Chains A and B, each alone.
Chain A
C-alpha cells in the first residue's frame, strides 16, 4: 500500500463528502500504517463529517499523541467536542491548536467557534478579529465573525460581516441563513424568510434552512393567535363594564374574527411564492389546524357565553369566559409547540 496515494484518495473522498467510504478506506490505511498521524486526522475528519463525534474525538486524540507538534488533531477534537456539548474541553483543544500554529487563521476560527458555543463572547470576538486580520478574504472568517456579533446583539456588525462573506462567496448559504436570523431579530418576518429561502435554494440538502422557514411561519401563526385571544379577552369584559346590547357585542366578535383571518391572510400573501406553498402546507398540518380551530372555537364559545347570558348575570359568567379563552390559548400554543418540535 502506498501511503501517500491512499491518503490522497481518502482526501478526495472527503472533499466530495463521501465520509463513510473515506472512513472505510482509512480504516485499512491505519491498520497498515498505524503511526501515520495524517491518516488518523483524515479518519477523524471522516467521522466528524458523518456525525460520529465520539469516534472523531478518540481518533483525533490518537493523532495528537502521534504528532504532538501538529495543530490539526486539536482542531478536529475541538470541533467534535463542541458537537458533543463539551464546550470547556473544546475551547481548551482550540487554544492548544492556536498555541501550536498562531499564524494559521483556522486555529483562531476554531477558538471563536468553541468560545461561541461556551458563551464566552469576548473570547470569541477576540479570536474572530485575529482570524480576520490573518485572512481578510476568507468568507468563513466573516461568517463566523457575524455569528459572534449576532450573539453579542450587535445586529449592524453582524449584518456587515455576513454581507462581506456573501461578497466573497455569493453561494455561502450559511451567511444567507444568518442574514435571515438578523432580519428575524428586527421582526422582519418576510425579509427573514426570503433569506432562508435563498439559503435553502443554495444548499437544499441542509435541512436547517427549511426548518427555519417552518419555524418562522409557525411563530407568525402563534403571534396571530396571541393577539386574537388577547383582543378577545378585552372584548368579553365590555358588556359587563359598559352594559352594551348584544348587537354591538356581536359586531365586535365579527370584526375580531375578520381581523384575525385578515392578518393571517395578509401575512401569507406577503411571503415569497415558495414560502406561501410552505405556509399553506403548514396551515393544513393537523396540529396547526387544531391550534387555529381551538383558538377560534374557544373565543366563539366565550363570546357566546357572554352574549347569551342575561345582562344581570354577565358578571357571574365572565370568569368562566375568561378561563375558557385563556385555556384555549394555552392549548393552541401547546399544539403549535408540538408542531414546531416535529420539524
Chain B
C-alpha cells in the first residue's frame, strides 16, 4: 500500500529535524521505495550509510533496488529466457563482488595489485587514527612539527644523565596549537606513545562536566588520577575552554576553576614525578597568560595544516577500508594544499557518497577512482580561512616576545602576512 503524501512530508520534516536518526531515515526510505520515489529513497539510504556505514538494512534495501534496476534492463533477456533457454537469473551482487575481488586493480598508483587489499595497508601511514601505541614515526610527514617535541621534551626525558649534566629541567608542559582538524590530538597521543606513558585525555565535554557541580574539586580529582597513574601524560584538549583568560570570565564561576588549574599545574611542576602535561588549543591567544608562564605550559608547538606527505597519509588512511582503485595520492596531495586533515576526511566521504550513488544508479558496483576524489576536492573548500584571518591578526599585533614567531614565519612563507 502506498503511503499518504502527507505522511511522507511529515517524515521528511522529522528527518530534517533529526538528521542523525538512522531508524527514522530507514523508515522514510522504505516508504519512499513503496511510493516509487527511488531517487529520493536512494539519497536517504546514502545518508544512512554515511552515518552508519555497515547498516545491514540500508545495504539490503540498496541491493534490492539495484536488482530491480537490473531486472528492468534485463527484461528483454528475461523474455528470451522465458521462451526457450530457462529462467532469467537474478543478478548476484555478492558473487560479483567476490569475482571482482580477485581482479581488483591496485588501490594506489605505484603499488602492485597483489598488495593492494586492505590487509596490505600499513597503519603507520595513518594520520588521524586512534592507536594504542602510537609514536611520532606513525605521523606521516610533518617533519618540522615532529622535531620540536623531540628537542623540547623527549630527548631530555630519554637521556636523564645528559639532562642532569646540562641542567635541563623537565618542568612545564607542552601546548600544541594550530588550526582545527590538523592532528593536534593525534600528535599528543604520539608524544605519549614515545614516552611509553599512559594517556589521559580530557575532552571539551569532560571539561564542561567539571564546571557542573564543584569544579575545583573535579579538577583536583583529575590531577590526582594522573598522579596515581604515573608515568602518565595528562592531555587537556581545547585548553582554552578550561584556561580561558580570566579577564573574560569576570562574572562566571569558571574563574575559580582556572585558579584551581593553576594551583594543580604548580603542584605537578613542584612535586610530581612522572606526570607530563600536554594541552591543545585552536586559540592559544584566548588562554590565560598565567597558564603559559614558566613551569606551566611554557613550551608551544605549532601544528600546521598537513604537508604533502601528511596529506598522502591522510588520504591513504581514509581510503584504506573503501573500494578504491588507481588512486594517485601524489596528485591528490598536490591538489589539497591548505586543506586540513578533517577537510580531507570530508573529501573522501564525499567521493565515496558520489561513487555509491553512481553504483546504485548504474546497477553495478564500481570502485572509487581519482576522478571521484578530484571532483570531491572541487566541492569541498578548505575550512581554515577563518582561523588564518585571526592568526594574521595575532602575528601582526599580538606577537609579544616572539611567542608566535613560528606562526608569523609560516604566514610570511605562504604570503598570508
The residue of chain B having its C-beta at the shortest distance from the C-beta of A207 within the complex is B389
B288 to chain A minimum Cβ distance, whole angstroms, is 11
Q: Is the CB of A200 within 8 A of B397?
A: yes
A261 to B123, CA, bound (A): 61
A18 to B250, CA, bound (A): 17
Out of A8, A171, A207, which one reaches B211, CB within 8 Å?
A8
Q: Is the CB of B390 within 8 A of A204?
A: yes
Q: Is the CB of A277 within 8 A of B390?
A: no
Let me know if B208 is at the binding interface, CB within 8 A.
yes
Q: Is the CB of B396 within 8 A of A277?
A: yes
Let me know if A216 is at the binding interface, CB within 8 A.
no
A94 to B195, CA, bound (A): 58
Query: Taking each of A197, A209, A210, A281, which has the highest tally of chain B beta carbons within 10 Å of its own beta carbon?
Result: A210
Q: Is the CB of A16 within 8 A of B254?
A: yes
A13 to B204, CA, bound (A): 9
Q: Is the CB of A201 within 8 A of B400?
A: yes
A12 to B204, CA, bound (A): 11
Q: Is the CB of B211 within 8 A of A9?
A: yes
The residue of chain A having its C-beta at the shortest distance from the C-beta of B393 within the complex is A204
A210 to B394, CA, bound (A): 10
A189 to chain B minimum Cβ distance, whole angstroms, is 17
Given known A9-B211, A15-B254, contact A169–B247 (CB-CB < 8 A)? yes
Q: Is the CB of B208 within 8 A of A200?
A: no
B385 to chain A minimum Cβ distance, whole angstroms, is 12
Residues on the B chain within 8 Å of A207, using CB: 389, 393
A207 to B390, CA, bound (A): 8
A320 to chain B minimum Cβ distance, whole angstroms, is 42
Q: Is the CB of B252 within 8 A of A15?
A: yes
Let me know if B366 is at the binding interface, CB within 8 A.
no
A159 to chain B minimum Cβ distance, whole angstroms, is 22
Given known A8-B212, A12-B212, A15-B254, contact A197–B397 (CB-CB < 8 A)? yes
Q: Per-residue CB proximity of B347-363 to A under 8 Å, as 1/0?
A: 00000000000000000
Out of A169, A205, A274, which one reaches B396, CB within 8 Å?
A274
A278 to B283, CA, bound (A): 22
The residue of chain A having its C-beta at the shortest distance from the C-beta of B252 within the complex is A15
Given known A16-B240, A16-B244, A16-B254, contact A200–B393 (CB-CB < 8 A)? yes
A21 to B204, CA, bound (A): 10
A278 to B285, CA, bound (A): 20
Q: Per-residue CB proximity of A1-43 to B under 8 Å, as 1/0?
A: 0000100110011011010010000000000000000000000
Q: Is the CB of B285 within 8 A of A204?
A: yes
Let me know if B398 is at the binding interface, CB within 8 A.
yes
Residues on the B chain within 8 Å of A21, using CB: 204
Residues on the A chain within 8 Å of B213, using CB: 5, 8
Given known A9-B208, A171-B245, contact A200–B285 (CB-CB < 8 A)? no
Q: Is the CB of B254 within 8 A of A204?
A: no
Q: Is the CB of A12 within 8 A of B211?
A: yes
Out of B211, B247, B249, B398, which one reaches A204, CB within 8 Å?
B398
A197 to B396, CA, bound (A): 9
Q: Is the CB of B212 within 8 A of A205?
A: no
Q: Is the CB of B249 within 8 A of A15?
A: yes
Let me know if B76 is at the binding interface, CB within 8 A.
no
Let me know if B221 is at the binding interface, CB within 8 A.
no
Residues on the B chain within 8 Å of A169, using CB: 247, 250
Out of A171, A274, A281, which one reaches B397, CB within 8 Å?
A274
Query: Taking each of B212, B245, B285, B417, which has the highest tally of chain A beta carbons within 10 Å of its own beta carbon?
Result: B212
Let me know if B241 is at the binding interface, CB within 8 A.
yes
Residues on the B chain within 8 Å of A9, using CB: 208-209, 211-212
A229 to B211, CA, bound (A): 62
B250 to chain A minimum Cβ distance, whole angstroms, is 8
Q: Is the CB of B394 within 8 A of A171?
A: no
A12 to B205, CA, bound (A): 11
Residues on the A chain within 8 Å of B204, using CB: 18, 21
A202 to chain B minimum Cβ distance, whole angstroms, is 8
Q: Is the CB of B208 within 8 A of A12?
A: yes
A197 to B395, CA, bound (A): 12
The residue of chain A having its C-beta at the shortest distance from the C-beta of B245 within the complex is A171
Interface residues of A in 268-320 (CB under 8 A from B): 274, 277-278, 281
B411 to chain A minimum Cβ distance, whole angstroms, is 11
A216 to B144, CA, bound (A): 39
The residue of chain B having its C-beta at the shortest distance from the C-beta of A199 within the complex is B397
A202 to B245, CA, bound (A): 10
Q: Is the CB of A205 within 8 A of B211?
A: no
Q: Per-residue CB proximity of A190-206 to B under 8 Å, as 1/0?
A: 00000001001110110
Q: Is the CB of B212 within 8 A of A5?
A: yes
Q: Per-residue CB proximity of A149-182 to B under 8 Å, as 1/0?
A: 0000000000000000000010100000000000
Q: Which 5 A-B pairs have the closest CB atoms?
A: A12-B211, A204-B393, A200-B397, A171-B247, A15-B252
5 pairs, CB–CB < 8 Å, chain A vs chain B? A9-B209, A201-B400, A205-B390, A207-B393, A210-B396
Give me 17 other A-B pairs in contact (C-beta within 8 A), A5-B213, A200-B396 excluded: A5-B212, A12-B208, A13-B208, A15-B249, A21-B204, A169-B247, A197-B397, A200-B398, A201-B397, A201-B398, A201-B400, A202-B398, A204-B393, A210-B393, A277-B396, A277-B417, A281-B417
